[in-house]
């Protein structure tokens, strides 16, 4: 069953007003923080830029009673991408109701698309993609794509075929985001073969794959592990090794790779700590924000901030989040610092090779080896902006939380 011609025309003609990160910060506040303010983007933006712009992708159960209102509220607070979850967040006996509510919510949000972020649906299986597409009316215009759980060499092609069918029917971009978390990928004996097959499948439909997501919770489950809130995912070696291999196969900067997004941080409540907080005091003293540091520590956000930093160091951008308090942390650490921006501009100025001291006089910029980094930094600068000289992530995070 294909979408009616009139509906297909409506979907292709209706354009949402572009989204923009930190849009909750206005006027003097924004001007005091940003050397270069974030650019607007939307679901018609080029795929590479849109993938970086995902930022913190907030998951919400499809069974939530006030689903449409929740999505609107989160968007007003700076969330730019959300996933309506039909899989792990929904009990088996509630799947039917969850699907009906997903359809109703997307149809409702399509009436006022400018109040909603980029919206994806995490399905339970490939058949649900066509099923939801058949049931959606105007809500097709509000749908940016689908998330494929437990994507592997066995299930993957069916997901991709279903996505290609929907894209052909709608005659507009519709994106897929596979979640890598299956045992065949985690197990050392089968990992290389599995990643080779996954890479080949994704390459065939490159333009429809927005990002590759990492499902670390399921990976931990393979070993009966639940990582502690005092540790980052990179401290769990058996999972960190899998993440490294995923980036190696699928995150290369030579044109064959994809944006890889970071796994979820599960914690958001106060608790008795075993180890020292992971946030140094000095940056908060410099910004007169010591009490704000205490707030972050009490909400377990110090571990999240540490993990986001390690995500970036390991070739990962953006993050899956399950609590709205995590969004500001991801976005504040996604803003390009003035120093990074200065280095990137110098590196991209001429393709003549060589080496030169940074404008900040604290490092050497090697023009060719650092060129891929500089290009990626400039993409991030476009959608998350560039901080003014002297503005730290503490200033940005404080403003984002209170803005």
pLDDT of the residue at 107: 95
Whether residue 359 sits in one domain with residue 295: no
Whether residue 364 sits in one domain with residue 328: no
Whether residue 364 sits in one domain with residue 262: no
Whether residue 239 sits in one domain with residue 93: yes
Distance CA 104, CA 119 (A): 14
Whether residue 247 sits in one domain with residue 102: yes
Q: Which residues pair with 214 in a beta bridge?
A: 180
Whether residue 286 sits in one domain with residue 143: yes
Whether residue 373 sits in one domain with residue 293: no
Whether residue 362 sits in one domain with residue 289: no
Q: Cβ atoms within 10 A of the Cβ of 391, count?
A: 19
pLDDT of the residue at 172: 84
* Residue range 89-103, pLDDT digits in tens: 999 999 999 999 999
Instruction: Locate 1 and state its tokens.
Output: 């069953």
Q: Is the residue at 95 inside a domain?
A: yes
pLDDT of the residue at 228: 84
Give the residue from 332, 348, 373 where a domain finishes: 332
pLDDT of the residue at 44: 58
Whole-angstrom Cα Rg for the chain: 21
Q: Is the residue at 291 inside a domain?
A: yes
Does an H or E element contain 58, and which? strand 56-61
Please check the confidence at residue 68 and state whether its pLDDT lies above 90.
yes
Q: Is the residue at 29 inside a domain?
A: no
Q: Is the residue at 246 inside a domain?
A: yes
Instruction: Locate 25 and state its tokens.
Output: 């910060």
Whether residue 225 sits in one domain with residue 77: yes
pLDDT of the residue at 305: 87
Whether residue 297 sits in one domain with residue 317: yes
Residue, of 399 and 146, whose pLDDT is higher: 146
Q: What is the CATH number of the domain that holds 93?
A: 3.20.20.60
Range with lowest mean pLDDT among 44-48, 104-108, 191-195:
44-48
Phi, psi of 143 (to 5 degrees): -95, 125
Q: Is the residue at 398 inside a domain?
A: no
Q: Is the residue at 399 inside a domain?
A: no
Whether residue 277 sits in one domain with residue 363: no
Instruction: Locate 303 and state its tokens.
Output: 């571990």
Domain that holds residue 362: 338-384
Please check the confidence at residue 403 and state whether its pLDDT lies above 90.
no
Whether residue 198 sits in one domain with residue 213: yes
* Residue range 261-284, pLDDT digits in tens: 999 998 876 555 444 455 556 565
pLDDT band at residue 307 under the 50/70/90 scheme = very high
pLDDT of the residue at 350: 78
Structural domains in the chain (count): 2
Q: Is the residue at 400 inside a domain?
A: no
Model-level pTM greater than 0.75?
yes
3-state secondary structure of 35: strand
User: What percent helix, strand, coil does the chain show, rounded to 5?
Assistant: 50, 15, 35
Q: Is the residue at 11 inside a domain?
A: no
* Residue range 197-226, pLDDT digits in tens: 999 999 999 999 999 999 999 999 999 999
> Alpha helices, DSSP H only, in 54-94?
67-76
Distance CA 55, CA 330 (A): 7
pLDDT band at residue 287 under the 50/70/90 scheme = low
Range with lowest mean pLDDT among 53-67, 221-235, 261-275:
261-275
């Amino acid at each position: 069953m294909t979408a009616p011609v009139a509906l297909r025309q409506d979907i292709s003609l209706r354009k949402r007003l572009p989204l923009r990160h930190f849009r909750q910060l206005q006027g003097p506040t924004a001007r005091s923080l940003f050397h270069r303010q974030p650019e607007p983007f939307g679901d018609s933006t080029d795929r590479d830029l849109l993938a970086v712009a995902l930022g913190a992708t907030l998951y919400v159960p499809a069974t939530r009673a006030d689903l449409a209102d929740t999505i609107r509220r989160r968007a007003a607070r700076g969330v730019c991408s959300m996933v309506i979850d039909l899989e792990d967040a929904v009990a088996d006996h509630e799947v039917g109701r969850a699907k009906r509510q997903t359809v109703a919510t997307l149809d409702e949000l399509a009436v006022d698309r400018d109040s909603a972020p980029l919206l994806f649906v995490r399905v339970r299986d490939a058949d649900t993609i066509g099923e939801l597409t058949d049931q959606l009316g105007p809500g097709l215009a509000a749908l940016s794509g689908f998330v494929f759980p437990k994507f592997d060499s066995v299930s993957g092609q069916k997901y991709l075929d279903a996505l290609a069918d929907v894209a052909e029917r709608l005659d507009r971009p519709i994106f897929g985001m596979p979640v890598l978390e299956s045992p065949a990928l985690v197990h050392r004996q089968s990992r290389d073969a599995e990643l080779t097959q996954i890479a080949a499948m994704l390459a065939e439909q490159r333009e429809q794959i927005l990002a590759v997501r990492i499902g670390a919770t399921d990976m931990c489950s393979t070993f009966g592990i639940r990582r502690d809130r005092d540790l980052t995912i990179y401290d769990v070696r058996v999972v960190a090794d899998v993440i490294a291999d995923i980036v190696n196969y699928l995150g290369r900067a030579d044109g064959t790779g994809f944006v890889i997004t970071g796994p979820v941080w599960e914690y958001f409540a106060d608790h008795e700590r075993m180890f020292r907080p992971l946030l140094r005091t000095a940056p908060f003293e410099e910004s007169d924000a010591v009490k704000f540091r205490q707030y972050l520590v009490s909400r377990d956000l110090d571990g999240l901030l540490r993990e986001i930093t390690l995500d970036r160091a390991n070739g990962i951008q953006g993050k899956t989040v399950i609590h709205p308090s995590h969004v500001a942390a991801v976005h504040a650490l996604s803003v390009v610092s003035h120093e990074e921006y200065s280095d990137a501009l110098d590196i991209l100025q001429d393709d003549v090779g060589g080496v030169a001291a940074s404008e900040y006089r604290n490092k050497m910029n090697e023009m060719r080896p650092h060129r891929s980094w500089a290009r990626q930094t400039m993409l991030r600068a476009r959608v998350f902006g560039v901080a003014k000289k002297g503005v730290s992530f503490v200033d940005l995070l404080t403003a984002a939380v209170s803005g």
